[in-house]
Amino acid sequence: MKKIILTGDRPTGNLHLGHYVGSLKNRVELQEKHDYDEMYVFIADTQALTDNFNNPKKVRDNIIEVALDYLSVGLDPNKVTIFIQSMISPLCELTMYYMNLVTLSRLERNPTVKTEIKQKDFGNSIPVGFLNYPISQTADITAFEATIVPVGEDQLPMLEQAREIVRSFNNIYGKTLVEPEALIPDSVVCRRLPGTDGKAKMSKSLGNCIYLKDDSKTVKKKVMSMYTDPNHLKVEDPGNTKDNPVFIYLEALSTDEHFKKYLPEYKNLDELKAHYEKGGLGDVKVKNFLYEVIEDTLRPIREKRKYYEDNIDLVYDILKEGSAKALEKANSTLKKVKKAMLIDYFD
């Protein structure tokens, strides 16, 4: 069986450190290992519209932002097909057919959807399109016959839903679709990076992000005002590192090299944590270190971004070419699906 990798991001804002550690880093590593047959990365505008249908400009403007973020972290259009979801109309057709295979109660039970419905204050007025988005995600995944989907932990229920639809489809219409598998980061803290406010997830919609495009000054400001342990009032107080986003970010991003370079009095993160937990280590010192670590991470990303910002036509060409290539692939899957469903009347 072919090894096909697919992931996407919603153009609802710029990509942030959560995306970086939860998914982008994995994607670039996979790309560099080149241990796959095909790799697709897409900008999920159709999905973004399910909860931003009344703000089309936001979605449109963020297409190019997300594309710039992709290219600046090192996704390479020569190795990966980068495309825009709404350019691929077979995805809508597939969604329509898969809708028959899922019950309303199953969609309402999806934990990610449940959390997001609460977050978005839909109350009892949930748009059908929003509730339907796990089905549309299944269309995305199956259209490209993806076997591996690198995502953060919040997407696991989506992958489960996709697998159920695939099994159900194959049972009814004969083996046609490929069952995907989620690839989540090895490191637990990277699976769901918390926000700078200490909330469970850094998320564009919650405004608690450090963005990949943030400049040094902005990063400094955000890091210095980050939530830490609220009981760590005086430097001497023993501190909590477990639910402390400053330490969680260090866990996700820092290496022993960073310690050598910026904080040589500690060998590694374990030593720093031990000191904080014992008491006698102030937040400002830890935050200053975190700032340096984030800067080391973002510096090369900013440089690449600048190149593509100065060559923006190139970015549009990449999206256009990628979308044309993706359309071919999705059409070929749609053809198989229609044949299996006996609706290929004139073939």
Residues forming the site for ligand ATP (CB under 6 A) = 9-10, 12, 18-19, 22-23, 151-152, 154-155, 191-193, 201-205
d(C-alpha 117, C-alpha 111), whole Å: 10
Residue of 330, 347, 342, 346 lying closest to 93 (CA atoms)? 330
d(C-alpha 191, C-alpha 185), whole Å: 6
Provide the minimum distance between the beta carbon of 93 and ligand ATP in the complex, in angstroms, as a whole number.
24
Nearest position to ligand ATP, beta carbon: 22
Gyration radius from the chain CA atoms: 22
91 contacts 46 by C-beta, under 8 angstroms: yes
Residue of 120, 283, 108, 269 lying closest to 187 (CA atoms)? 269
Provide the minimum distance between the beta carbon of 203 and ligand ATP in the complex, in angstroms, as a whole number.
4
Nearer to ligand ATP, 107 or 113 (CB): 113
Provide the minimum distance between the beta carbon of 200 and ligand ATP in the complex, in angstroms, as a whole number.
9
Provide the minimum distance between the beta carbon of 79 and ligand ATP in the complex, in angstroms, as a whole number.
20
| DSSP 8-state secondary structure symbol assigned to residue 100 | G
Provide the minimum distance between the beta carbon of 206 and ligand ATP in the complex, in angstroms, as a whole number.
7
Nearer to ligand ATP, 116 or 283 (CB): 116
Provide the minimum distance between the beta carbon of 116 and ligand ATP in the complex, in angstroms, as a whole number.
7
Nearer to ligand ATP, 196 or 323 (CB): 196
Nearer to ligand ATP, 9 or 283 (CB): 9
Nearer to ligand ATP, 116 or 169 (CB): 116
Nearer to ligand ATP, 204 or 305 (CB): 204
Q: How far is CA 212 from CA 16, 49, 200, 288, in A?
A: 5, 23, 19, 18
The alpha-helical segments, DSSP class H, found in 132-227 are: 133-143, 156-173, 188-191, 216-224
